[in-house]
Amino acid sequence: MNKIVTIISLVLTVSSASAQHEWTLQECTNYAVENNIQIKKSEQSLESQEIRLNSSQNAYLPEVSASASQNFSFGRGLTSNNTYSNTNTRTTSFSVGASMTLFNGFQRKNNVELNKLNLSASSADLEKVKNDIRLQVAQAYVQILYNMEIEDVAYRQTQIDFAQVNRLESFVANGKASEAELAQQKAAHANSILTYTQAINTRKLSLLTLSQLLELPSADSFAIARPDTSLMHNAQFIMHNDSINYDRPEIKAEEIRLDATAYNLKIAKGGYYPTLSLSGGMSTNYYTASNLPSESFSKQIDNNFSQYISLNLNIPIFNRFSTRNNVRDVKIQQHSQQYTLDLARKTLYKDIQQVTLNAENAAAKVTAAREAVANSETAFRLAQARYENGKSTITEFNESKNSYMKSQSDLAQAVYECMYCAMLVKWYQGEEMGW
């Protein structure tokens, strides 16, 4: 029995020693938003969209290129005298050219606007990912709080069983109790120790889950702060439609994508328009032959220097109905995006209604659980008094004790479920996540 008490003491010592700074929910969510890998990945997607926008804006700039070539020719060839002779020739050429699109059916302009909207949609997607992580952190946080309460309940159960073991040992020594009763109580105490050990492990695993969401290197020194649960005594949750913040990032992203389909349609229709482009350049070359005299390099470069400029008009006449089908496809995508937006709005409405009902049910469960704890505690105290006075069996005592402990566990679950629902209600009303 002393070994079991020593184990409990060591567990409590290790737990208290490892608990350094206690993180609040606000601290956890802020840290997760700054360090979570999923959020960082979404930030990378946002940066990629910024690059696409920049590329579409740069499409207005001209394209400039330069080239240089060196050619050698060997063997027999036809001369100016209409005879063949062995001739070695060498040609060196240089050129610089530029081109730019003047008009392409407003596709460049519409593509810039499209990428601006895509950037805004990606920004809304990033905010949605942050909100998802905040929710996951809050759920993990509340789970830890619940597991901590279960651990406390399990510890109190070990203390009750330990006190009964000591009492029965003294009774056995005085001949007032049997060895069988003592053995049965020791078995109950051992089971409560096992339950307590399992509760500790469950609490540690839930801490590990939250620490991984926060991308902490280890959960060894990680601990959270317990909020004030007294706020749940008179909890009432009423979510009015005019207080709900429907401007959620998941809705905003789909609305932006719907607007973007209009520009996709304009880009597709741009294929019906002609394309006008401007190009220009300059070039020169140097030529030598083995059996012919040649002028100097600088003189040939100067004499052979030429420039050109051209306007190119491309009028689409028939492209196998490619443009027509592109327009049809974009219209289908436009209707599909409208359905996606409608579905997102319905999902949000359903989530809000579910949160409201869950909050009301949670508040009712807290009231019922508190009454159950009060009644089961009274029953346990009476059963304990009857057992200690020899008017009931140890089995009846343990049944009453287990019922009391279960009511405490149910109360802990109801309280933290209520607090989580209260937080969600405020969150959907536009407030920051927290208590």
The answer as to whether 237 is a domain residue is yes
Measured between alpha carbons, how far is 189 from 7 in angstroms, rounded to an integer?
13
Position 5 confidence tier, pLDDT thresholds 50, 70, 90: very low
- CATH code at position 57: 1.20.1600.10
In angstroms, rounded to a whole number, what is the distance separating the alpha carbons of residues 64 and 278? 12
Residue 19 vs residue 303, higher pLDDT: 303
Q: Comparing 182 with 239, which gets the higher pLDDT?
A: 182
* 91: in domain: no
What are the strands, taking DSSP E only, across 225-359? 275-289, 306-314
- Report the percent of the chain where pLDDT is more than 90: 61
Among 48-57, 292-301, 324-333, where is mean pLDDT lowest?
292-301
Average pLDDT of the chain, as a whole number: 88
Please indicate, yes or no, if residue 312 is contained in any of the structural domains: no
Residues 268 and 262: their CA atoms lie apart, in Å, by: 10
Inform me whether the pLDDT recorded for 47 exceeds 70: yes
The enclosing H or E element of 200 equals helix 179-213
Largest CA distance in the chain: 141
**What residues contact 250, with CB distance under 8 A and at least 6 apart?**
124, 128, 344, 348
Q: What is the pLDDT of residues 103-139, one digit of tens each?
A: 999 999 999 999 999 999 999 999 999 999 999 999 9
Whether residue 373 lies inside any domain: the answer is yes
Residue 78 pLDDT > 80, yes or no?
A: no
Provide the pLDDT confidence category of residue 356 given band limits of 50, 70 and 90: confident
Answer whether residue 141 is part of any domain: yes
3-state secondary structure 104-163: CCCHHHHHHHHHHHHHHHHHHHHHHHHHHHHHHHHHHHHHHHHHHHHHHHHHHHHHHHHH
From start to end of 234-351, where are the E strands? 275-289, 306-314
How do the residues of the chain divide into helix, strand and coil, expressed in percent and rounded to 5? 70, 15, 20
Q: Label residue 232 by pLDDT band (50, 70, 90).
A: low
Above pLDDT 70, what percent of the chain?
90
Whether residue 245 is contained in a domain is answered as yes
Residue 74 lies in a domain: no
Average pLDDT over every residue of 379-398: 86
Phi-psi region of 82 (alpha: psi -120 to 50; beta: other; left: phi over 0): left
pTM beyond 0.95, yes or no: no
| The total number of structural domains that make up the chain | 1
The pair of structure tokens assigned to 89 is 């020739």
Which residues have a Cβ under 8 Å from the Cβ of 434 and sit 6 or more positions away?
24, 25, 26, 29, 423
Answer yes or no: is pLDDT of 15 > 50.
no
Residue 61 has pLDDT above 50, yes or no: yes
Domain carrying residue 118: 2-64+104-274+320-428
| Ramachandran angles phi, psi of 285, nearest 5° | -155, 165
Across 406-415, average pLDDT: 89
In a domain, 289, yes or no: no
Check whether 233 has a pLDDT greater than 80: no
